[in-house]
Amino acid sequence: MLKTMAETDDLLAAFAGHPHRRSLLKGLVGAGAAGTSLLSFAEALAQAPAADVAKLVILSQPGIVPDILRDVTLPAFRKEAPKTEVAFEAASNAVAYPKMLAQRGNPVVSGAMVNDLFAQRGLNDKMWAKIDPALVPNAAALPAGLVTPGGFGIPFQLTPWGIMYNPDKVEEPKSWTDLWNPKYKGRVSMWDAYYDTYVMAGVVTGKGPSVEEGIKAWAPHKENIGAWVNSPTAEEDLVHRGEVWLAPHWGSWTAMAKSQGKNVAFTIPKEGAVQWTGHMQLCAGFSPAVSELTQRYLNTWLSDECQRAWIERGFYSPASTRVAVPDALKANPAIVTAESAVANLVRPDFVKLGAEMPRLKNLIDRTLKG
């Protein structure tokens, strides 16, 4: 009996990717199956074709993104896998990733939408599996230089990180140093979970894209920080209501807020902006069948139809070179081409940054919140 339980535990671990793995194997054990019988069943389960996968669970950013995925990608994927349901778990990386990390012994999410920092953090934690280019052929349209930190994952959209502001309260900022103007005391909102603002502070003070140097550069101006935020929509509301006037922010989120009637505007200062990139990740710990279907589904995020939807509905910049920015949106500073992003936007060393996140968060707390 002890041998049977050990074999069962091994098999439960081995089939962490099958949607009904635990109930199937425990049912066999309850019926008296053991040893060779269980192993034979497990081998058959591992070889199950992709067509037999009942459900995929995919992590999505919140907001309009799940709507775009449902409207655009699911009809295309159903033609390829009509028997496979796709469910979305909509949450920010900061909220979803710790949960995924806790579940990795029995994972649920097989494909994930992550930012640059969590792409690297997941690589450090061995959360991601290598993507097979043959299963994601649309990635061939990405420009050279647009890559995921660490080599795991594929970029599918991007946006510049610049400055959101209330046009009734301030003139359009021209420089990142405008955030330090004493007349804006208490009128700037900041993040402690994202480091792009500190990257640009390092750049404008001649230290390069160093988060640590950027945090130090903010220290003499910390009285300008009137709010610490952890939600894009909450920050947009603060600026819209005039409670804060300036907020380092994502171009796409600002443009979406403006399209919803919020009194916000976006600009890229003269020193440039940070390239924020959305990456698709294949999560480790799943059966070959689930992994294959997940990659075939993620391929739809780079389809021409979906890339156009990222632009037109989400105000994201496309990752694919096959899709042009519509004329009506070319003047929008929140939207750039993938080639322009690679050539002009700032990209810090996310490999180094991903390993330093706890230390940098602590440095922000001590330097700017104390």
If asked whether residues 178 and 238 sit together in one domain, one would say yes
Number of compact structural domains in the chain: 2
Give domain status of residue 240, yes or no. yes
In one letter, which amino acid is 48?
A: A
If asked whether residues 289 and 338 sit together in one domain, one would say yes
If asked whether residues 320 and 193 sit together in one domain, one would say no
| Tokens coding 299 | 């391929």
pLDDT for 7 equals 47
Give domain status of residue 207, yes or no. yes
Give domain status of residue 39, yes or no. no
Give domain status of residue 181, yes or no. yes
Alpha-carbon distance 176 to 304, whole Å? 35
Nearest Cα residue to 115 out of 252, 339, 276, 300: 276
Angle between helix 93-102 and 116-124 (nearest 10): 10
Taking the CA atoms of 175, 180, 185 and 187 in sequence, report the sign of the dihedral they define.
positive
Give domain status of residue 7, yes or no. no
**How buried is 166 (Cβ within 10 angstroms: 0-12 exposed, 13-18 middle, 19+ buried)?**
buried
Give domain status of residue 253, yes or no. yes
If asked whether residues 168 and 264 sit together in one domain, one would say yes
CB 268 within 8 A of CB 160: yes
If asked whether residues 254 and 290 sit together in one domain, one would say no
CB 77 within 8 A of CB 316: no
* Residue 205 to residues 100, 218, 272, Cα–Cα distance (Å): 38, 10, 13
If asked whether residues 269 and 281 sit together in one domain, one would say no
pLDDT for 20 equals 47
pLDDT for 164 equals 98
Domain span holding position 213 = 160-273+348-369
β 274-283/128-129 pair status: antiparallel
Torsions phi, psi for 162 (to 5 deg)? -125, -135
What CATH number does residue 72 fall under?
3.40.190.10
pLDDT for 349 equals 86
Alpha-carbon distance 112 to 154, whole Å? 11
If asked whether residues 144 and 94 sit together in one domain, one would say yes
List helix spans (H) across the chain.
Answer: 2-14, 21-30, 35-46, 65-68, 74-80, 93-102, 116-124, 196-204, 211-218, 232-241, 251-259, 288-298, 304-314, 338-344, 350-368
**How buried is 33 (Cβ within 10 angstroms: 0-12 exposed, 13-18 middle, 19+ buried)?**
middle
Bridge partners of residue 160, in order along the sequence: 275
Give domain status of residue 124, yes or no. yes
pLDDT for 49 equals 55
Give domain status of residue 327, yes or no. yes
**Predicted model pTM:** 0.81
If asked whether residues 264 and 314 sit together in one domain, one would say no
If asked whether residues 62 and 203 sit together in one domain, one would say no
Nearest 10 degrees: Cα torsion 176, 178, 179, 181: 150
If asked whether residues 258 and 308 sit together in one domain, one would say no
Bridge partners of residue 225, in order along the sequence: 188
pLDDT tens by residue, the chain, 370 residues: 444 444 444 544 444 444 444 444 444 444 454 444 444 444 444 444 555 689 999 999 988 999 999 999 999 999 999 999 999 999 988 889 999 999 999 999 999 999 998 999 899 899 999 999 999 999 999 999 999 977 799 999 999 999 999 999 999 999 999 999 999 999 999 999 889 999 999 999 999 999 999 999 999 999 999 999 988 899 999 999 999 999 999 999 999 999 999 999 999 999 999 999 999 999 999 999 999 999 999 999 999 999 999 999 999 999 999 999 999 999 999 999 999 999 999 998 888 887 888 899 999 999 999 7
**How buried is 359 (Cβ within 10 angstroms: 0-12 exposed, 13-18 middle, 19+ buried)?**
exposed
